[in-house]
Amino acid sequence: MSRKIEIIENINNDDCDNFLKLEKKLKNLDIKSILDAENLSKKAEEFGDIDAADIERVWTILWDKRLYSGMKEATATKWKKQLEDVNIHENHMMREISIDPKIVLDLKKNSDITVPDDRLIGIHSAAKYLINREEKFGKIIFPYLKKECSKKVLMANTIESMQKGLGKGWGHTTVFHFLTDIGISVKPDIHVARTLNFMGISKFIDDVKDSYRPNLEECIDIHFVILGMSKILREVSSHYTMRYIDKILMNISKDGALEN
What is d(CA 227, CA 217) in angstroms, rounded to the nearest whole number? Answer: 15
What's the pLDDT at 154?
A: 97
From 174, 210, 206, select the one nearest 194 (Cα to Cα).
210
Radius of gyration of the chain (CA): 19
Residue 108 is classified by DSSP as G
What is d(CA 26, CA 32) in angstroms, rounded to the nearest whole number? Answer: 9
**Mean pLDDT per 10-residue run, the chain (260 residues)?**
78 94 95 96 96 97 96 95 96 96 95 96 98 96 96 97 97 96 93 93 82 90 95 94 96 90
What's the pLDDT at 104?
A: 96
Secondary-structure breakdown of the chain: helix, strand, coil percentages, each rounded to the nearest 5: 65, 0, 35
What's the pLDDT at 4?
A: 85
- Across the chain, where does the E strand assignment appear? 5-7, 202-204
Q: Are 119 and 66 in contact (CB under 8 A)?
A: yes
Secondary structure class of 149 (helix, strand, coil): coil
